[in-house]
Amino acid sequence: MDKINQLQNYLFMIAAQNGKIIKNLFFILYIILVLILLFSGYKIISAHALDSSLYSLGKKFGELTLLLLGLVVTPGILGRFGIEIKITRIVTVYRRQFGIITFLTALLHFSLVRMFNWLGGILPFSPFPITFEAYGTLALSLMFLLFVTSNDFSKKTLGKLWKVMHRFIYLILWLLVLHVGLQKIGVWTLFIFGAAIVETFSWIIYFIRKKGLATSSEAQSTNSK
């Protein structure tokens, strides 16, 4: 256990002390994902035919989005349960960067599986999407709001509204449960459903504890009088 704690401390120290380098690496990853998006869009639309390899890649990006989303909410869940795993604080330090990556992978999923195929006339577009598509599109729209406000300017300008908006992440979790679950029940359905359940339960525990502390504080105040 001591060795595990030492390793966590070491990794956290490296992440904290090399912030500029790590943020630059994230930026490079942003560029790579955008280039994949542009290249894939050109290839699919110009070919006017379904590219099975890019379609499969789009599905993989969807799975990666679920994994990243679970990772992003993990520190908050642990904190509300009063559990400290120091290595998860790395995610907290770079939560904004992880959030941007999550949006880009979600955009790639949507674009490779649907949007580029619509634009290329490969799949018919309907203003009334299938139910699971509607939930996925709504989740992506909310993720876009978080993406465009993931900066210091937006945080300062929006104030308390910024915090409210970024709690959409909890709604996004449940929208993705519906998006994935309405297609089929599998490993990824269970994963995102588990993440949404634990997230919700952690908030219930948080508010119960908060109410308990408030009641205890009031009782102590009354006794002191």
- Structure confidence at residue 224 (pLDDT): 57
Question: What is the arithmetic mean of pLDDT over 12-24?
Answer: 87
| Contact (CB, 8 A) for 68 and 105 | yes
For the cut 90, the answer to whether the pLDDT of residue 213 exceeds it is: no
pLDDT per position as a tens digit, 123-139: 888 877 789 999 999 99
**Confidence class for position 190, pLDDT limits 50, 70, 90:** very high
**Confidence class for position 83, pLDDT limits 50, 70, 90:** confident
**Cα dihedral 13/74/185/119 (nearest 10):** -70
Q: Over pLDDT 70: what percentage of the chain? A: 94
What is the pTM assigned to this prediction?
0.89
- Structure confidence at residue 218 (pLDDT): 59
Name which of 84, 74, 99, 95 is nearest 194 in CA terms: 74
Please name the residues in contact with 198: beta carbons below 8 A apart, sequence gap of 6 or more: 77
Burial of 36: CB neighbours in 10 Å, binned 0-12, 13-18, 19+:
middle
- Structure confidence at residue 221 (pLDDT): 57
Name which of 31, 30, 60, 57 is nearest 43 in CA terms: 57
> d(Cα 106, Cα 64) in Å, to the nearest integer?
8
- Structure confidence at residue 223 (pLDDT): 59
Extract the tokens encoding 121. Answer: 């006339």
- Structure confidence at residue 43 (pLDDT): 95
Extract the tokens encoding 82. Answer: 């009063």
Extract the tokens encoding 80. Answer: 């509300």
> d(Cα 174, Cα 163) in Å, to the nearest integer?
19
**Confidence class for position 220, pLDDT limits 50, 70, 90:** low
More confident residue, 84 or 140: 140
More confident residue, 155 or 222: 155
For the cut 60, the answer to whether the pLDDT of residue 225 exceeds it is: no
Average pLDDT score over the chain: 90
**Cα dihedral 34/186/204/160 (nearest 10):** 20
- Structure confidence at residue 86 (pLDDT): 80
Question: What is the arithmetic mean of pLDDT over 183-191?
Answer: 94
Question: What is the arithmetic mean of pLDDT over 159-180?
Answer: 93
Coil, strand, or helix at residue 111?
helix
**Confidence class for position 107, pLDDT limits 50, 70, 90:** very high
